Amino acid sequence: MSLNLEQYVSEFSAQNINGEHLLQLDGSKLKALGMTSSQDRAIIKRKLKEMKASLEKARKAQEKMEKQREKLRKKEQEQLQRSKKTDKCSSDATEGTNEQ
């Protein structure tokens, strides 16, 4: 509707075209849905291309954030392990001094 193509809403609804299905449509599928105007198909295809690019950008940003979180978790685990080793060495040294 925001693209001024509301004449196709009823057919898209009747065919249960949701967002996921919409992203899979190409020119021939749009034509089969009753979109006979090549201009209207071009508008939809251009918008779908923009949406796919936006989704891909968001997916890549999500992957980047997940990698950063994983890197931080690993770093925290390494610091924790080093801290435990340092504590153990300090404890062993203290015990050795007490025994003497």
Q: What domains can you pick out in the chain, each with its CATH number?
A: 7-83 (1.10.150)
CB 23 within 8 A of CB 52: yes
Output the pLDDT for position 58: 96
> What's the whole-model pTM score?
0.61
Separation CA 61–CA 68 (nearest Å): 11
Residues of the chain scoring pLDDT < 50: none
Helix-then-strand count for the chain, H and E = 4, 0
For residue 19, what pLDDT is reported? 84
What is the reported pLDDT for 91?
66
Written as six digits, the tokens of 71 are 């890197």
d(CA 11, CA 17): 9
Residue 61: its pLDDT value, please?
Answer: 96
